[in-house]
A and B are shown apart, each in its own frame.
Chain A
């Protein structure tokens, strides 16, 4: 089944404790991105990647890191999480480098930073 898989689905942690949210897609997609969803603000892009070893900042990259060492994986890293990073996170992928293709979303990861 074609899908985008995120782990974990839920995480409660404390300020300053490094964490990684994994994202993997099995559709051989070129473009992958991370979004955070907050009430009243819609979906805001954190980082995106058009290809292996190519990443770029989205609208809200502060406090986050990503890597794209393999085509299928695009982990989101919070080196020193803070409470303002409490949010619902979605990973998404699309088939080509061009952004004008449908995005396929994962099921989301709900992070709570205490």
Chain B
């Protein structure tokens, strides 16, 4: 079945450095790739998403790139700040019939050290 692999599972960076989280997916029909941030004890919140007709999207310090041929997409956070510390989840759509669902990666715990 559809699988989304996310790496690394933990990531520690110094404040001001960049952080990169990578995901791979298996369903070539996937067309939507969101990223969610989950702070401790809180709900996941969408931080950025990308659709299959776009190769890159940027929103201030956050960017996402998509390589459809290789079936992988990445989250890039520049100039990291302590408030970026959280668990980040990638996801990809699994489409079938008239419906579909989101398959999530296992999560990356990002720690930004002051």
Q: What is A's interface to B at a CB cutoff of 8 Å?
A: 33, 35, 40-45, 48, 50, 56, 58-59, 90, 97-103, 105-108
Contacts and interface: CB of A to CB of B under 8 A. Distances in A.
Contacts of B46: 102-103
Contacts of B34: 102-103
A101 B37 CA distance: 16
Contact of B95 (A41, A99, A101): A99
Chain B interface size range: 20 to 34
A102 B98 contact: no
Interface of B: 1, 6, 9, 31-32, 34, 36, 42-46, 49, 51, 89, 91, 93-95, 98-107
**Interface SS majority for chain A:** loop
**Consensus secondary structure, chain B interface:** strand
Contact of A58 (B32, B45, B49, B101): B101
14 contacts: A40-B107, A42-B89, A42-B106, A42-B107, A43-B89, A98-B100, A99-B94, A99-B99, A102-B49, A103-B36, A103-B102, A105-B45, A107-B42, A108-B43
Which 4 A-B pairs have CB atoms at the shortest separation, nearest pair first? A100-B32, A99-B100, A105-B43, A43-B104
A98 B9 CA distance: 29
Contacts of B36: 103
Contacts of A56: 99
Contacts of B95: 99
A36 B1 CA distance: 19
Nearest to A45: B101
A43 B44 contact: yes
A99 B93 contact: yes
Given A42-B104, A103-B46, A103-B102, 6 more contacts: A33-B102, A42-B106, A59-B103, A99-B100, A99-B101, A100-B51
